[in-house]
Structure 1
Amino acid sequence: MSGSKRWVNRPEGSTWGDFGPDDQRGRINLLTPAKLKQGIAEVKEFQPFCLSLPLDLPGGNLLNPRRFPPVIRPTLRGDRPNMNYGLFRDNELHTDVISDDLVVMHLQYSTQWDSLAHVGSRFDANGDGIAESVYYNGYRAGDDIQGPTDAKDAGVPQPGDQRSTSNATALGIQNMAESCVQGRGVMLDFHAHFGNKREIIGYDTLMRVMEKDKVVVEPGDMVCLHTGFAQMLMDMKGKPDLHTLETSCAALNGRDQKLLNWITDSQLVVLMADNYAVEHYPAVDHVGCCATLPLHEHCLFKLGVHLGEMFYLTPLAKWLREHGRNRFLLTAPPLRLPGAVGSPSTAVATV
C-alpha cells in the first residue's frame, strides 16, 4: 500500500512522506556517505570501545517485569546435548569435539535499539475524525504490524514450538540493520555535570551542557547521552537495586516541547542513551490525555528517529573528556532479524 493510500493527515511536525511514501528507515536516511566520511575523520588514535553491556544485564526482571535475561542452552544431537560432543563415524570416535548452542532472548532486555514498529500512536491518519492505531509513515497496526490475540501464543515458547506469532511486515528492525548504522557519533556527557543525581533534562539544561562542553550537533549526527546508568548496572553485577536505579542518573524530559523541537530541528539521526528509556519515566505530569512515553512518540512515531537504550558509554565518555573531544566514529547496527520490533546491538566506537 502506498503512502498516499495509508494516510491523508500526517502528525504535525512529522517527517511522514519526506523520505518517500513507503519509507521505513526514517532519519537513518540522513546517514549518507558524507556523514560516514565525517565519522572516519574523527578516528585519530584507532582505539575502539565496546558500547554493549553483557547481554545478561541488568539481571532479573525488576526493570521490566515482561523481560528476562537470555537463556543459553545446547542444541540437540540425536537424544544428547550437543556440547563437548565427540564425533563418531562408523562407530569410530574421531578427533573432533563439537559444541553448539541456542538462545531464547528478549530482544530489548539489555543494550538495544527500538525499531520504528516499537511505539505508534492513536492518530486520525484517514482524516475522518476517527483515530487509528498507526506507526511511522502511516503503517497500520493489525495490517503491517501483526500479533496474536491469544495469550498462549505470546511469551516464551514451549519446547518444540517453532512458530513466530508476531511480525512487523513493515518497519521491522532489519530496515535499520541494512543501513549499517555507521557515521559520526556525538557525546553529551550529562554524568560529568550531574554525577549519579536524578536530573530531568529539558531544553534549557541541555543547551547549557552543550555550551559548556562546546558540543555541536549537525544534521545526520548520531547523538549519545552518557548518564552513568549503565555503569551502575555493571557495578551491580546482575543484582540490580531497583530503588537506586529509579532515583539515579539523568533522563530527558519528554514533556518539554522545546526539547522535542530541538530534536526535530537538529536533524539528528538516532538518539541513544546508557539509561533505561532515554526519557524520564514515568513522564512529568500532564493535564489531559497524552502519550505515556512522549519522547518515544515524538521520535519513533513522528520523526522516524530510532532510540537506543542501555548502551555502555562510560569508558568512551571518560576517554573523550580526558582528551577534550566529543566526536567519534560510531558503528551500531542491530541484528538483521526480519519482523522484529527491537534488537540487541554490539556497537563499537572508534576514536
Structure 2
Amino acid sequence: MTAPNNPRWTRRPEGSTWGDFGPDDQLGRLNLLTPAKVREGVAEVVEGRSFGLSLPLDFPGGQKLNTRRKPPVLQPTEVRGMPFMNLALGQFDARYTDVVCDDQVTLTLQYSTQWDSFAHVGAWFDADGDGEPEKVYYNGYRAHEHVLGPGDLKLASCPCGADGGSYALALGIETFAALPIQGRGVMVDLHAHVGNARELIGYERLMAILQADRVVIEPGDLLVVHTGFADVVLSMNRDPDMAVLDQSCAVLDGRDERLLQWITDSGIAAICTDNYAVEAFPARKADTTPSAALPLHEHCLFKLGVPLGELWWLHDLAAWLRAHGRSRFLLTAPPLRLPGAVGSPVTPVATV
C-alpha cells in the first residue's frame, strides 16, 4: 500500500495502520481511547473497588528470565559526600530537627510489570519502495534518525546528553503517558480454562474461551489476558526456575495468522498480559524465512500500533471478576513520562 505524500515512507506493511491516524501519528490504536471510550470504562465502575495490577518491581528476581535485564538497585543520594539516609539536618545547622531519607534507583525499564512502546520492536522493511529494506518502526519512523543509540547521539537535536546512550526522538514511551492510557479493560481468563499447563493459544481456542465465558470485545477496548504466569513467578520468591517457567501457563501463538488477523479486525487498543512477552518465545517454527522471532510483537508494535503490557499481576482481579460474572472494568495504566525511553514500568489500576 502506498502513500506518496508521507514524509517517511512510500509503502507500508500489508494490513498495517500506518498513516491511518495521520502522517506523524505516534499513538497507533491508542487513538481509539476517545472520551466516549473512557466513559464506557467509567460506566463499568459499580462497586468502587480498585485492584493494583503491578508485581513488586524487584520480581521476577535475578536475570534468568532475561539476561539483559537487571533488578532495581536502590541507593541513597548524597550531600557533602554523605549518604542522605537517616540524615539529621541538625549536623549542618543546629536550628533543624529534621531526619531525612532521599534515594535513587538504577532500573531496567522492562524488568517487571511494563509497557512496550512502538520503539521497542521494529523490522527490516522496504518503506522507500526502492527494493532495499530499512530499519523502521511504526508509521515509518527510522532507526538512527528517530530512534537513537550509541553513535547516533552526537546529533545536536538530541536532548539526551553525552553519546553512548539511547533516546527515542519519536515513539518514546512518554507519548503513552501524555495521553494517558485509560479506558475499558476486558478480561480474558485463559487460566480458568488451561490452568498452569503450557498451551499455545491460537484463534480457535481463544474464540472458544470467549464464547464459553460470554466475553464481548469491541473496538477501543484494552484486552487483558490472565494466564497465571505471574502467580508462578511470585511463588518462586525472586529465584525463578526457568525449567518450570518455560513449561507454565498459556501463551498466545504469534505464528497463528488467524489470531493476528483477529487482533487486526477486533480493533483492540492494547494487549496486557501477566506473562513474559505475551506470545510464545521462541515462537513456533515459521513456514518461511527470514521471519520475525516475535511475530505478535511485529504485528502489534510495528504494523498496527497496539501497545503490549507484560508481567502484570492479574490474579486477584481475575478471581473477583469471575466470582461476580463480569469481564469488564475501568483500566488506568499510564507509564512513566520518561522522554526518550522505549519501555516503562507501570502500576496499572483496575476499578470495578
Distance 1:126 1:220 in 2: 31
Structure 2 partner of 1:315: 316
Distance 2:23 2:92 in 1: 60
Structure 1 partner of 2:147: 145
Question: Pairwise mapping of residues 155-174 of structure 1 onto structure 2 (< 5 A)?
Answer: 165-174=165-174
Cα displacement string for residues 180-237 of structure 1 (whole angstroms, at most 9, x for unaligned residues) = 1111000000000000000100000000000000001100000001000011111111
Q: For residue 163 of structure 1, report the CA deviation from its aligned partner.
A: 6.9
Cα displacement string for residues 310-347 of structure 1 (whole angstroms, at most 9, x for unaligned residues) = 00001000000000000000001100000000000000
Q: For residue 239 of structure 1, report the CA deviation from its aligned partner.
A: 1.2
The one-letter amino acid of 1:305's match is V
Distance 1:342 1:141 in 2: 16
Distance 1:136 1:163 in 2: 25
> For the aligned residues, what is the CA RMSD?
1.5
Q: For residue 302 of structure 1, report the CA deviation from its aligned partner.
A: 0.2
Distance 2:135 2:5 in 1: 16
* 1:25 paired to 2:27: yes
* 1:192 paired to 2:174: no
Q: For residue 25 of structure 1, report the CA deviation from its aligned partner.
A: 0.6
Number of matched pairs? 340
Structure 2 partner of 1:342: 343
Structure 2 partner of 1:242: 242
Are the aligned partners of 2:149 and 2:164 in contact in 1 as well (CA < 8 Å)? no
Cα displacement string for residues 50-82 of structure 1 (whole angstroms, at most 9, x for unaligned residues) = 000000000000000000100000000111100
Distance 1:144 1:255 in 2: 29
Residue of structure 1 aligned with 2:80, choices 78, 81, 85: 78
Cα displacement string for residues 157-186 of structure 1 (whole angstroms, at most 9, x for unaligned residues) = xxxx98771000000000011111111000
Distance 2:92 2:282 in 1: 63
Q: For residue 286 of structure 1, report the CA deviation from its aligned partner.
A: 1.2
Distance 1:17 1:66 in 2: 34
The one-letter amino acid of 1:94's match is Y
Question: Pairwise mapping of residues 1-351 of structure 1 onto structure 2 (< 5 A)?
Answer: 4-88=6-90, 91-92=93-94, 94-149=96-151, 165-287=165-287, 288-351=289-352
What's the TM-score, normalizing by structure 2? Answer: 0.94
Runs of 4+ with deviation above 4 angstroms: 161-164
Are the aligned partners of 1:86 and 1:93 in contact in 2 as well (CA < 8 Å)? no
Unaligned runs of 5+ in 2: 153-160
Are the aligned partners of 2:187 and 2:224 in contact in 1 as well (CA < 8 Å)? yes
SS of 2:96's partner is strand
Are the aligned partners of 1:3 and 1:138 in contact in 2 as well (CA < 8 Å)? no
Query: In the superposition, relative to structure 1, how do residues 90 and 29 fare at CA in structure 2: closer, same or farther (>3 Å)?
Result: closer
- Between stretches 65-74 and 92-101, larger displacement belongs to 92-101
Q: For residue 88 of structure 1, report the CA deviation from its aligned partner.
A: 2.9
The one-letter amino acid of 1:230's match is A
The one-letter amino acid of 1:348's match is V
Query: In the superposition, relative to structure 1, how do residues 164 and 102 fare at CA in structure 2: closer, same or farther (>3 Å)?
Result: farther
Distance 2:250 2:92 in 1: 63
Distance 1:89 1:82 in 2: 12
Distance 1:8 1:94 in 2: 65
Structure 2 partner of 1:157: none
Distance 1:101 1:206 in 2: 45
Distance 1:149 1:5 in 2: 24
What's the TM-score, normalizing by structure 1? Answer: 0.94
Are the aligned partners of 2:7 and 2:23 in contact in 1 as well (CA < 8 Å)? no
Query: In the superposition, relative to structure 1, how do residues 85 and 124 fare at CA in structure 2: closer, same or farther (>3 Å)?
Result: same
Distance 1:110 1:93 in 2: 43
The one-letter amino acid of 1:284's match is R
Distance 2:343 2:92 in 1: 46
Are the aligned partners of 2:149 and 2:165 in contact in 1 as well (CA < 8 Å)? yes
